[in-house]
């Protein structure tokens, strides 16, 4: 009996691409029930001469990933180039148009162009899978798209960026500044040379946009996400939050609302005893809330060679096994981008940090400014006065609307004693 062979083309030979090739070289028969052997038939990357810890000398090299995608010598394209447009998008489109399945780890591509690619894949009758795009080796996509299909999902929230989680954890543990920890993360390879996508919250927003589409039955709508990053978090915020019983985390959330969903990414204070606060270092963690099963918790490594390559391999196995399903929760031809919910913004408690001049009556003036906006104080914490005559004050509020809190911040910023605009983070409702 002739052994069946699936010929894989790999576009992108960075950390994940190298991990995938190592895995397939070691276990070409990793889908045993099908009797299929997997082999790498072609590779493509920006530099052929770059030193790598994998042997690619026996594979056909393609300077252009589009040429790789179109090659008659590959049966499936794995896209690991990254980026929402350019070579990644062109290669995926070329493979789909040629009637070839695509597996990708590219969260930006799926979040920004998922609907048009899904329509193309379904027109051609081929799979487009992206398990590795969210939470690396932890099966968040499969969990939401398949395991929770029998439930009515209401909300998803968690930590979806290992770089940001590493930076915040290290700042707390070492007392180093954001800039110093970011530089160290770049040196260690945890953060890119241009870290904007990570620390600005955009990478996280791509991921929660994908999960929201899967959870609530639409197509990804990245443009509707509200995004704030961790570049506004200072060491004093981490310390004072801890003194108040909280830990600052970059939280992604998607909640079903009137007419659509609210999708947000922002640093938030999480109680120290909460599972999200316990996820340290580069771990990712996710809560999924359904009407039937209640709350489920998923945690695991969000990036890295091994975990992400394992997720890519799982998608390859699904393709080989003949799994057939829509790219999202329903046929792409009938989907529209998931609309933003018609609501008045978030409602909850807030952490507010002020830097004011040490004068009599400052606390009273701050309290009056909050009262004007109808925001009540829950707790207040003041640091000792230093020789500059300036004092940091942190307060937490009772639940209030987003509009009221912003109004209060405006009143506080107008105070004569204010040295700088007040800093505000939400306190997570978990």
Whichever domain contains 391, its CATH number is 3.30.70.260
| Residue 53 confidence class, pLDDT cut points 50, 70, 90 | confident
Do both 152 and 270 map to the same domain? Answer: yes
Q: Which residue has the higher pLDDT, 76 or 150?
A: 76
Q: Identify the active-site residue in 89, 142, 207, 249.
A: 207
Contact of 104 with 82, CB cutoff 8 Å: no
pLDDT surpasses 60 at 330: yes
Do both 292 and 175 map to the same domain? Answer: yes
- 355 in any annotated domain: yes
Task: Decide if 207 is catalytic.
Answer: yes
Give Cβ neighbours of residue 43 (< 8 Å, ≥ 6 apart): 9, 10, 11, 13, 17, 21, 56, 59, 60, 61, 62, 68
- 410 in any annotated domain: yes
Q: Which helix (H) or strand (E) holds 367?
A: helix 362-372
pTM of the full predicted structure? 0.94
pLDDT surpasses 60 at 163: yes
Please state the rounded mean pLDDT for residues 248-270. Answer: 95
Do both 83 and 147 map to the same domain? Answer: no
CA distances to 105, 127, 186, 265, 281 from 191, in Å: 17, 31, 5, 19, 13
The distance from CA 153 to its chain's CA centroid, rounded to whole angstroms, is: 19
Which of 188-202, 216-230, 281-295, 346-360 is predicted with the least confidence, judged by mean pLDDT?
Answer: 188-202
pLDDT surpasses 90 at 388: no
Q: Summarize pLDDT for 115-160 with one digit per residue, the tens.
A: 999 999 999 999 999 999 999 889 999 999 998 888 899 999 999 9
| Percent above pLDDT 70 for the chain | 98
CA distances to 72, 137, 159, 304, 324 from 141, in Å: 30, 10, 14, 17, 15
Residue 69, domain extent: 4-133
């Amino acid at each position: 009996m002739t052994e069946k062979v699936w010929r894989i083309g790999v576009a992108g030979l960075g950390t994940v691409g190298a991990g995938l090739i190592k895995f397939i070289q070691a276990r070409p028969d990793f889908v045993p029930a099908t009797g299929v052997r997997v082999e790498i038939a072609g590779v493509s990357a920006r530099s052929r001469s770059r030193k790598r810890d994998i042997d690619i000398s026996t594979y056909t090299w393609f300077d252009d990933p589009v040429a790789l995608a179109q090659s008659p010598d590959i049966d499936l394209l794995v896209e690991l180039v990254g980026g929402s447009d350019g070579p990644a998008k062109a290669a995926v489109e070329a493979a789909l148009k040629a009637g070839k399945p695509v597996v990708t780890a590219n969260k930006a591509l799926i979040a920004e162009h998922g609907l048009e690619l899904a329509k193309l894949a379904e027109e051609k009758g081929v799979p487009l899978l992206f398990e590795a795009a969210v939470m690396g080796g932890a099966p968040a996509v499969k969990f939401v798209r398949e395991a929770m299909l029998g439930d009515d999902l209401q909300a998803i929230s968690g930590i979806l960026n290992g770089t940001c989680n590493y930076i915040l954890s290290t700042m707390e543990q070492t007392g180093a500044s954001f800039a110093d920890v970011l530089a160290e993360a770049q040196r260690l390879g945890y953060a890119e040379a241009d870290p904007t996508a990570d620390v600005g919250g955009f990478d996280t927003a791509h991921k929660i946009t994908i999960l929201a589409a899967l959870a609530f039955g639409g197509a990804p709508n990245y443009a509707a996400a509200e995004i704030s990053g961790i570049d506004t978090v200072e060491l004093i915020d981490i310390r004072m939050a801890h003194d108040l019983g909280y830990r600052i985390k970059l939280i992604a959330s998607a909640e079903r609302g009137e007419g659509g969903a609210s999708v947000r990414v922002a640093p938030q204070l999480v109680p120290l005893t909460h599972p999200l606060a316990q996820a340290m270092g580069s771990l990712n963690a996710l809560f999924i809330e359904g009407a039937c099963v209640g709350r489920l918790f998923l945690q695991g490594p969000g990036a890295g060679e091994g975990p992400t390559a394992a997720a890519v391999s799982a998608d390859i196995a699904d393709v080989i096994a003949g799994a057939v399903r829509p790219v999202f929760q329903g046929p792409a031809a009938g989907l529209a981008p998931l609309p933003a919910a018609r609501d008045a913004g978030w409602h909850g408690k807030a952490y507010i940090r002020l830097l004011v001049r040490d004068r009599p009556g400052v606390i009273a003036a701050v309290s009056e400014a909050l009262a004007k906006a109808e925001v009540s104080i829950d707790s207040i914490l003041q640091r000792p006065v230093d020789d500059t005559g300036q004092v940091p004050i942190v307060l937490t509020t009772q639940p209030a609307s987003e509009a009221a809190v912003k109004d209060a911040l405006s009143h506080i910023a107008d105070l004569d004693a204010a040295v700088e605009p007040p800093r505000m983070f939400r306190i997570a409702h978990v």
